[in-house]
Structure 1
Amino acid sequence: MWGRQREASMMYKRTSSRDRSSTFDVEETTALVQNGTEVENTNPSWKLSFPHVLVATLSSFLFGYHLGVVNEPLESISLDLGFNGNTLAEGLVVSMCLGGAFIGSTLSGWIADGVGRRRAFQLCALPMIIGASISATTRNLIGMLLGRFVVGTGMGLGPTVAALYVTEVSPPFVRGTYGAFIQIATCLGLMGSLLIGIPVKEIAGWWRICFWVSIVPAAILCLAMVFCAESPHWLYKKGRTAEAEAEFEKLLGGSHVKSSLAELSKLDRGDDGDIVKFEELLYGRHFRVVFIGSTLFALQQLSGINAIFYFSSSVFKSAGLSSGLANVFVGIANLLGSVVAMVLMDKLGRKALLQWSFFSMAVSMAIQVAASSSYIPGSASLYLSVGGMLMFVLTFALGAGPVPSLLLPEIFPSRIRAKAMAVCMSVHWVINFFVGLLFLRLLEQLGPQLLYSIFGTFCLMAVAFVKRNVVETKGKSLQEIEIALLPQE
């Protein structure tokens, strides 16, 4: 669409806000950076920031856990609460959290900017504790739906805040690796919910235990955040320079504090003084970068990943494997891909992983199309279908899954970072909802060959979109990225 003028089109206008006094003005910071005796040139120890990132990823673990917590126990829940056989009620129990998640994600940017990243995590954990308690103790369908909705608000808030926090507290040389922890934690949460649900058919009322268990990591997140560092970027935006300096020391070590503050001072400090209007994100000067972020999330969902997760049990059953074993295989493929992405994120870079991930997903869809063809013998068709599905999940976890939530906070200017992430995550949830709602009907009307072809086409569209519009951010500080995206005078 933009072709040769890709780099120019990536540069979007960002006007200066009113000047404020700063501990480091431009001349001082330039002298500081040039003075080799005062600035540490080596990378800071990753061990300092790692515990803070680990606590933050508990929100992602909870996100994955609550996505999968009702899958195995759904039949027992419907029997105990009196709606067994009511497919609409069962569907609402599974998807009600998506409605709450949309609300949570829509408000997440304003919450994160208003109260800070640490308190936003605590506000994320609170509805998960309350909602899980309601679901665990309810005696009717209304109580279950209410509990799932309340949990969903925390689920919607968590991913945005986790992406912001991990991006802002991580040293540049490991930011990609830390970003992949979010996807790994989500996978572990999904697998944990499946494992917890195994005894549900043997032990009466076990599904209530499944909800009670989730309160433990939520409470740990809420309490542990008291001891974690606040985002220095958020503190600096608020004019709390001394506190930002103290947090940088926690995260990077004393020898890197001055150089990190010097990086921050290269940009306008008074950004938070100007209110970011919602319209500004939709058609103002920041529309371009928000459009890129929203499109990435939309293509991620239109690739068919959630439909594949939903349909995997049926494919494995037709191959003679149990749904439980199918979930284990899919979970292992998802986790393995996430671990490989963690290793490669800061070596190959975000853009390369995205392109190869989407391309490989398109190949996986081509395998699925071939498997559903009448020209392939029955046994070969089953093997191709299972192999293609596992390949799709694996390659999704390599790039299309973890990269967007890491890349977008990197390319968004600090002034709009939280609110732009909220807009993009809202798009993610809307597409997620409609794909899940329409998948079975489309499968019935179009057939697997055409539907898989459509998913594969979206994957190829994503390859072209990433090539033309996404910039590489590997190894760069957030300030370097933002300065690179400023218009050239």
Structure 2
Amino acid sequence: MLELHSLTASSIMRVLIMRAPLREAPPEKFALLLSGSPGKGALLFNNIFSIVPAILMGCSRVATSFELIIISRLLVGICAGVSSNVVPMYLGELAPKNLRGALGVVPQLFITVGILVAQIFGLRNLLANVDGWPILLGLTGVPAALQLLLLPFFPESPRYLLIQKKDEAAAKKALQTLRGWDSVDREVAEIRQEDEAEKAAGFISVLKLFRMRSLRWQLLSIIVLMGGQQLSGVNAIYYYADQIYLSAGVPEEHVQYVTAGTGAVNVVMTFCAVFVVELLGRRLLLLLGFSICLIACCVLTAALALQDTVSWMPYISIVCVISYVIGHALGPSPIPALLITEIFLQSSRPSAFMVGGSVHWLSNFTVGLIFPFIQEGLGPYSFIVFAVICLLTTIYIFLIVPETKAKTFIEINQIFTKMNKVSEVYPEKEELKELPPVTSEQ
């Protein structure tokens, strides 16, 4: 009845990943969860929305109930929505500034690893068959179970402990555990500066975030970056990849292996981004990544238009797909979530992640919904739409987004204070009013 045995690996990936955004928690509850719980606590609680549905999906065949799969996907969507925002925020608050970029890219690295693992297990001769699909769906609970066992041994965010809980002793202990040495007074002083900078504002809700002129360019930047990340066509590329491989002469039974190979390229390039983000900086990786995606979309459009008249054009299409994946893995995929952590202070960071996450998933859903219609209407010229979005996003980054590498949260927000030109407009209420001087490091 479910006919899941007929799904290819790429179809399973679209079921497991692209449809998840439709099942997220309501925005106001999402904001409440992020603001009212520490990162570690929210992640531990969030595992419920992965483990329970994994069990339900694994038992759906025995129960002969497709309804269990539908309900489970609703719950897994909540898990995906929460974890994709809380994990980067939690890691960004734990990391020292010289490693914040590398650790900020790690969540995206493990997302790509998860996609590759799903593609491998989703091969028809492994689990994507009549007997194996319940196991394939049930495996989604394994990472959550491991997190539930291991995460309690990790420290809470020092910024959360000091700024929101006002527990300096616990914050120092967390920092000492994370850094491996006892002298953490300099970092504690930096966190105090952040606390002093935002005392007047208190917690900043999503509504207040949109009203505050002092956060105008930060908010606009995350909307552009998160929207550009998804509207640049990454899911459309994966959607179209199988057809490109088939047109290039790859046998149908081998397309699933080539698709897994593309996933492996994604993992390798994201792994490289972990090591170069602190060397090249966030801004350069974003510019480089979106530029590569722009060129790939333009060349892919030409290749698709000429593939029936020029014999070797399908091979150019394959090169374009791989090039696009490389470009997106270097910048557009990992960097935007990292920047949300860096350009907002503690009081506004949860709401900023909610806005960024909402834009991310809505854009993801929009591409998945309308791309088949774009493809039907424009045919081989479908990717021109994504090329234009890549171009506009690249121009915005070049003109507006500053470099945040090796800067404290206070230093980054001082840059935006000048851009927003509001330091003297709201003397009592603005988040960035009268920032204390940044302690220079030796």
Q: Tell me whether the two structures share a fold, i.e. TM-score over 0.5.
A: yes
Query: What residue is the counterpart of 1:280 in the other structure?
Result: 208
Residues 180 and 342 in structure 1, CA contact (< 8 A), matched pair in contact too: yes
Q: Does 1:327 align with 2:259?
A: yes
By how many angstroms is 1:110 displaced? 2.8
Q: Compute the displacement of 1:92 (Å).
A: 7.3
Q: What is the aligned counterpart of 2:318 among 377, 386, 391?
A: 386
Aligned partner of 1:188 among 113, 136, 139 = 113
Provide the residue aligned with 2:23 in structure 1: 100
Contact 2:194–2:410 (CA<8 Å) still a contact in 1? yes
Q: Is 1:469 aligned to residue 394 of structure 2?
A: no
Instruction: Note if contact 2:203-2:347 (Cα within 8 Å) is conserved in structure 1.
Output: no
CA shift at 1:395, angstroms? 0.7
- Cα shift at 1:349: 0.2
The question of 1:235 aligning with 2:167 is answered no
Structure 2 counterparts to residues 280-359 of structure 1, below 5 A: 280-285=208-213, 286-321=215-250, 322-359=254-291
Amino acid at match of 1:299: G
Given the alignment, which residue of 149, 162, 170 partners 2:87? 162
Evaluate the alpha carbon distance shift between residue 418 and residue 93 of structure 1 in structure 2; reply closer, same or farther with a 3 A threshold: closer
Per-residue deviation, 1:77: 5.4
> Is 1:395 aligned to 2:318, yes or no?
no
Aligned match of 1:407: 339
Cα shift at 1:200: 4.9
CA offset digits 1:146-197 (Å, max 9, x no partner): 1111111001000111110111111111111112211210111011112222
Which residue of structure 1 lines up, in the alignment, with residue 188 of structure 2?
A: 261
Correspondence 1:118 to 2:59? no
Distance 1:162 1:196 in 2: 25
- Aligned 8 A contact 1:107 1:157 in 2: no
The residue identity in structure 2 corresponding to 1:310 is: Y
- Between 1:364-373 and 1:160-169, the stretch displaced more is 364-373
CA distance in 2, matches of 1:209, 1:120: 27
CA positional deviation for 1:357: 0.8
Corresponding residue for 1:360? 292
The offset of 1:135, in angstroms, is: 1.5
Q: Does 1:481 align with 2:408?
A: no
Counterparts of 2:73 and 2:32, CA distance in 1: 23
Q: Which runs of structure 2 are paired with 1:13-92 in the superposition (5 Å)?
A: 75-76=3-4
Cα distance, 1:275 vs. partner? 3.6
User: 1:10-52, CA deviations, whole angstroms, 9 ceiling, x for partnerless residues?
Assistant: xxxxxxxxxxxxxxxxxxxxxxxxxxxxxxxxxxxxxxxxxxx
CA contact (8 A) 2:18 2:364 kept: no
User: 2:58 maps to which residue?
Assistant: 136
Corresponding residue for 1:14?
A: none
TM-score of the superposed pair, with normalisation by structure 1 = 0.78
CA change 1:241–1:209 in 2 (3 A) is same
Relative to structure 1, is the Cα distance of residues 201 and 256 closer, same or farther in structure 2, using a 3 angstrom cutoff? Answer: closer
Match of 1:222 among 131, 148, 162: 148
Q: Which amino acid aligns with 1:295?
A: V
Separation in 2, partners of 1:177, 1:374: 41
Going from structure 1 to structure 2, the CA distance change for 1:126 and 1:248 (only over 3 Å counts) comes to same
**Counterpart residue identity of residue 286, structure 2:** L
Residue range with higher mean Cα deviation, 238-247 or 314-323:
314-323
- Matched ranges for 1:399-478 at <5 A: 399-449=331-381, 451-478=382-409
Contact 2:127-2:135 within 8 A present in 1 as well: no
Instruction: Say whether the 8 Å CA contact 1:364–1:389 is kept in structure 2.
Output: yes
| Contact 1:105-1:157 at 8 Å conserved across structures | no
- Asked if 2 retains the 8 angstrom alpha-carbon contact of 1:96 and 1:145, the reply is no
Alpha-carbon distance in 2 for matches of 1:311, 1:463: 24
Q: Post-superposition shift, 1:111?
A: 1.5
Q: Secondary structure at the match of 2:302?
A: helix
Q: What do residues 372-398 of structure 1 show as CA deviations (whole Å, max 9, x unaligned)?
A: 233884332101111101100111001
Q: CA 1:434 to 1:254, structure 2 compared with 1: closer, same or farther past 3 Å?
A: same
* Equivalent residues of 1:232, 1:243 under 8 A apart: yes
- Distance in 2 of aligned mates of 1:440 and 1:150: 27
Against the structure 1 CA distance between its residues 226 and 92, is the aligned structure 2 distance closer, same or farther, given a 3 Å change threshold?
Answer: closer
- The 3 A distance-change label for structure 1 pair 75 and 259 is same
Deviations 1:57-110 (A, max 9, x none): xxxxxxxxxxxxxxxxx843579xxxxxxx9xx987775422223x27764443
Structure 1: gaps of 5 or more residues: 1-73, 80-86
Q: Residues 217 and 100 (structure 1 numbering): CA distance in 2 closer, same or farther, change over 3 Å?
A: same
Partner amino acid for 2:112? C
Give yes or no for the alignment of 1:252 onto 2:183: no
Counterparts of 1:296 and 1:289, CA distance in 2: 11
State which of 139, 150, 156 in structure 1 corresponds to 2:75. Answer: 150
Matched residue type, 2:101: G
List gaps (5 residues or longer) in structure 2: 425-442
Q: Is 138-147 or 386-395 further displaced after alignment?
A: 138-147
Q: Determine if contact 1:77/1:207 at 8 Å carries over to the other structure.
A: yes
Measure the CA separation in 2 of the matches of 1:303 and 1:203. 33
Q: Whole-Å Cα distance in 2 between the matches of residues 105 and 319 of structure 1?
A: 44
Cα distance in 2 for residues equivalent to 1:160 and 1:93:
18
Give the corresponding residue for 2:99.
174
Task: Report the residue type matching 1:185 in the other structure.
Answer: F
What's the TM-score, normalizing by structure 2?
0.85
Alignment match, 1:84: none
The root-mean-square deviation of aligned C-alpha atoms, in Å, is: 2.5
Q: Shift in Å at residue 204 of structure 1? A: 3.8
Distance 1:459 1:215 in 2: 35
Separation in structure 1 between the aligned mates of residue 178 and residue 343 of structure 2, nearest angstrom: 22
Deviations 1:286-315 (A, max 9, x none): 343112101111111111111111111111
Question: What is the one-letter code of the residue matched to 1:283?
Answer: R
